[in-house]
Amino acid sequence: GESVGLHLPTLSVQEGDNSIINCAYSNSASDYFIWYKQESGKGPQFIIDIRSNMDKRQGQRVTVLLNKTVKHLSLQIAATQPGDSAVYFCAEGGGTSYGKLTFGQGTILTVHP
């Protein structure tokens, strides 16, 4: 993918608000999508995944929505907490790329107490 340097999209919210992080994916053949959370100095942490035969999946405080028509993925975090502050990446896989994941740009989420 192209380099976008250090200018990641950012989202600032107040504690207790709901957060929505968006992602556009590139490969229409992808059939598996994952959201990861990455804190500074740590590896990506699995949050939630969804397969292309679904358009919504819910976890604990998180919901992932998939719109295959426009190749868009979103992560909704309910009642955001300061501990949710991190960089969030979407990743796509499957289809003809089974095995490897292709990661999106990342969004910096900052939650203010």
Q: Which of 14, 60, 99, 113 binds another protein (CB under 8 A)?
A: 99
Q: Which of 15, 16, 18, 51 binds another protein (CB under 8 A)?
A: 51
Nearer to another protein, 29 or 46 (CB): 46
Does residue 11 bind another protein (CB under 8 A)?
no
In whole angstroms, the minimum distance from the beta carbon of 29 to another protein comes to 15
Count of alpha carbons within 13 Å of 10, Cβ hemisphere only?
6
In whole angstroms, the minimum distance from the beta carbon of 48 to another protein comes to 10
